[in-house]
Structure 1
Amino acid sequence: MAPARLLGVCSLLCAWSVLMGHPCSLDLHQGWANCNRKNLLHAPSSLPRNITSLDLSFNSLVVPHHGTLLMHFSSLHSLNLSSNALLALGPAVFSNLEALRLLDLSSCSIAYLHVDAFKGLGNLHTLLLRNNNLQELKVPFFLPLKALFHLDLQHNELVSVNTLNLQLMEAVPQVQLEGNPWVCDCAMQPLQQWLQRRQAVQVTCASPPGLRGWEVAALDSQDLGCQTKQRFPREASTVQQITVTQSNNTTLPSGKGGRSWTYLVGFLVSAIGISILITLAAKCKLFHKHFASYRHRQLPETSSIGGCPMEDDSGESHPMPGAADLQAEDDDGFIEDNYIQPSEQLSEEEERELHLSI
């Protein structure tokens, strides 16, 4: 009896659908309506207002530039709009669907998303945007999606994601980014670090050709073409930073870079040693000159001027005139070479001849 009643209910529903003028399949018990592949331009307004699931995939829906797409279905929890040529989504196009938890926009050729396209979807749990033509993600795009858990951005035209979007995506547990033409250069480093923290998303490079097919998370900064900067602790002096920077910028032969400090020490030691030798040589020369200026010569013993008395033929000794005075003037017995003048020597000879004549 029960199968007969169920068959009768289905027959009544089908008849009612035909009479109401829409081709969708309904299940009032489950609260869903299937309107896929019906070549629809708009959602049938004759559908029950209390349905919670609506499938409008594979149609030719026209999305309004302003206003909402589904005005009369505020109870929807699931909406499938995949494979419709939507191209662009205007502001607040889903604003009346506050209870929506799943939105499928896959394969809709979407190339533009207004920053307020998802305004009002504060309870959205899953957003599927794969197989579209998105080239960038604007920052406010994520702001209304407070409860987002799963985001699918596979197979779009994304080449990079800015740092602020990555920070917003940190709050989304499941994010799929595979299949985009990622450009693996130094600007990819924030995304690489983000992927390394996730450890579950497999994203590969599309360019440059040398990195095509490589996993972004497995690359290092040199592979991405980033120049590493050496950081110094705050206590490091400015002189140390300049020295290290200059040594990093200097190209050294291979195998000798680690011994450059020994060459520097050797050069300094050599310079100091040469300076000391030059200083000693100059001081020795000055000392020798100073010593030569004070050099004396001792008087000869046979000289006519000396400390011994002179004897004549008669055996008498006569003291040399002026000898006591000379001894007083020079007590050390030395006299300069030019101290005795020729005039003095001539006077002594005349005095000697005078004694002989007497």
Structure 2
Amino acid sequence: MKIICVTILFWPFFMLLLSEKSQTSKTEVKVNFTEKNYSLIPEDISNNITILDLSYNQITLNIADTRVLQMYFLLTELYLNENKILILHDNSFSNLSSLEILNICRNPISVIQQDAFIGLNKLKQLYICQNKIIHLNPDMFVPLNNLKLLNLQGNFISYFDVPQLFHLEIITLYGNPWNCTCRLFNLQNWLNTSNVILEKENITMCNYPDSLKCYNIKTVPFAPECHSTLISSVTEDFYVNFRSISNSTFDSSLNNVTRNSEHEPLGKSWAFLVGVVVTVLMTSLLIFLAIKCPIWYNFLLSYNHHRLEEHEAETYEDSFTGNTSSSSQIPDINSEDTTVIFEQLHSFVVDDDGFIEDKYIDTHELCEEK
């Protein structure tokens, strides 16, 4: 029982020691290939390495090197300083999701493509010092969600927009030819309002104009028009972001319509579309009325059945009188034949409604019969 109690008490300490040993063993897997005059990253390295130092070589970090780096997905530190890298291509470190430190200082890097740092979600320290970079797009740092240190010392950067780095703690910017005009005002405002520490602030000096060379970029006085420029730029950015979120689909469709309008007239297509829609609606309405309201076509089928008007009845009487007078000249026709002819002449009366209008019925005889 005592043994069990002692085991339970010391079990957390035992597990802590194991975890520390495992972490120590992971950080101790280090490979050092400095000053080997390598032009390519070697492929025969163990896949479980965590620290790879390739400093002072001839590596250019081309497509073949990028493919080899994807094999070492357990890397936490990578040192490529003092090599021959000219361009950081897109997805150069895409498979290094455990990388925490990346050092590519003292290379002739002049271009960093937009998606060069995609996949480095755990990166904490990025060193791009002493290269030949002239301009940096701050959006390229967006994938670096956990970056705490950014070193841009010793490049040719004259202005730099505010980077989208929410966990950044230290930034190094000295050794660049800073242009302290209104274009740099946003960066100064960010450095003074955020919690980011500007390393070696006292030597991060303005290079242009000459009248401001005695100021560092964090304390340089700006003209009043720079403040109005800041307000207008913030308002414009807010408006652009709002439009891009709410009306992106509409804008793209509008652009397509505008491009198409350069090749064909817009009025004919709209007229044709309206004609098709109206035709379909009218056809559907007629079909609906024909199915739901059969009284319409019943009326159309029986439109030729109507009562005789008074003048039409008199016309038929005159014709009947003429016929009887002419028939009296024929000696062979008797009174029975005359009655038959009379009945045939008056057989056109329609009795669909059950009522017969006959002007030859004596109303006095009907009253006597009743």
Report the TM-score, using the length of structure 2 for normalisation. 0.50
Q: 3-state SS of the aligned residue for 2:136?
A: coil
Cα contact 1:153–1:177 (8 A) shared by 2:
yes
Match of 2:183 among 180, 187, 190: 187
Residues 140, 189 of structure 1: alpha-carbon distance in 2 compared, 3 angstrom cutoff:
closer
Letter in 2 for 1:49: N
Q: 3-state SS of the aligned residue for 1:216?
A: coil
Cα contact 1:108–1:131 (8 A) shared by 2:
yes
Cα contact 2:105–2:130 (8 A) shared by 1:
yes
Letter in 2 for 1:190: N
Q: 3-state SS of the aligned residue for 1:195?
A: helix
| Structure 1 gap segments, 5+ residues each | 1-26, 232-358
> CA offset at residue 196 of structure 1?
2.0
| Residue deviations 1:276-309 (CA, integer Å, cap 9, x gap) | xxxxxxxxxxxxxxxxxxxxxxxxxxxxxxxxxx
Which residue pairs with 1:220 in the alignment?
221
Partner Cα distance (2:93, 2:113) in 1: 12
Which residue pairs with 1:156 in the alignment?
155
Percent identity over the alignment?
29
Partner Cα distance (2:113, 2:128) in 1: 14
Paired residues, number: 200
Which residue pairs with 1:57 in the alignment?
55
Cα contact 2:70–2:94 (8 A) shared by 1:
no
Partner Cα distance (1:217, 1:147) in 2: 24
- Equivalent positions of 1:298-313 (< 5 A) are none
Which residue pairs with 1:208 in the alignment?
209
Which residue pairs with 1:173 in the alignment?
169
Which residue pairs with 2:259 in the alignment?
none
- Equivalent positions of 1:187-336 (< 5 A) are 187-197=183-193, 198=195, 200-201=197-198, 202=201, 203-222=204-223, 226=226
Letter in 1 for 2:114: V
Question: Which stretch has the larger CA shift, 197-206 or 109-118?
Answer: 197-206
Letter in 2 for 1:211: L
Partner Cα distance (1:34, 1:139) in 2: 33
Q: Is residue 87 from structure 1 mapped to residue 83 from structure 2 by the alignment? A: no
Cα contact 1:68–1:96 (8 A) shared by 2:
no
| Residue deviations 1:26-71 (CA, integer Å, cap 9, x gap) | x998200110000001222222111110100000013224853513
Cα contact 1:91–1:118 (8 A) shared by 2:
yes
Q: 3-state SS of the aligned residue for 1:196?
A: helix
- Equivalent positions of 1:103-122 (< 5 A) are 103-122=102-121
Report the TM-score, using the length of structure 1 for normalisation. 0.52
Partner Cα distance (1:99, 1:111) in 2: 26
Cα contact 2:124–2:147 (8 A) shared by 1:
yes
Match of 1:31 among 29, 40, 52: 29
Q: 3-state SS of the aligned residue for 1:103?
A: strand
| Residue deviations 1:142-186 (CA, integer Å, cap 9, x gap) | 121111111111111111112xxx151354121111111100112
Residues 136, 77 of structure 1: alpha-carbon distance in 2 compared, 3 angstrom cutoff:
same
Cα contact 2:142–2:165 (8 A) shared by 1:
no
Letter in 2 for 1:31: V
Residues 94, 153 of structure 1: alpha-carbon distance in 2 compared, 3 angstrom cutoff:
same
Cα contact 1:155–1:178 (8 A) shared by 2:
yes
Partner Cα distance (1:62, 1:134) in 2: 16
Q: 3-state SS of the aligned residue for 1:54?
A: strand
Partner Cα distance (1:102, 1:32) in 2: 14
Q: CA-atom RMSD, angstroms?
A: 2.5
Cα contact 2:100–2:122 (8 A) shared by 1:
yes
Cα contact 1:68–1:92 (8 A) shared by 2:
no
Letter in 1 for 2:221: D
Residues 54, 100 of structure 1: alpha-carbon distance in 2 compared, 3 angstrom cutoff:
same
Please identify the structure whose Cα radius of gyration is greater: 1
> CA offset at residue 140 of structure 1?
3.0
Partner Cα distance (2:208, 2:81) in 1: 29
Partner Cα distance (2:214, 2:35) in 1: 36
Residues 91, 167 of structure 1: alpha-carbon distance in 2 compared, 3 angstrom cutoff:
closer
Partner Cα distance (2:80, 2:27) in 1: 22
Partner Cα distance (1:144, 1:169) in 2: 9
Letter in 2 for 1:101: E
Cα contact 1:69–1:94 (8 A) shared by 2:
no
Partner Cα distance (1:36, 1:109) in 2: 18
Letter in 2 for 1:186: C
Letter in 1 for 2:50: T
Q: Is residue 125 from structure 1 mapped to residue 124 from structure 2 by the alignment? A: yes
Cα contact 1:68–1:95 (8 A) shared by 2:
no
Letter in 1 for 2:33: C
Which residue pairs with 1:97 in the alignment?
96
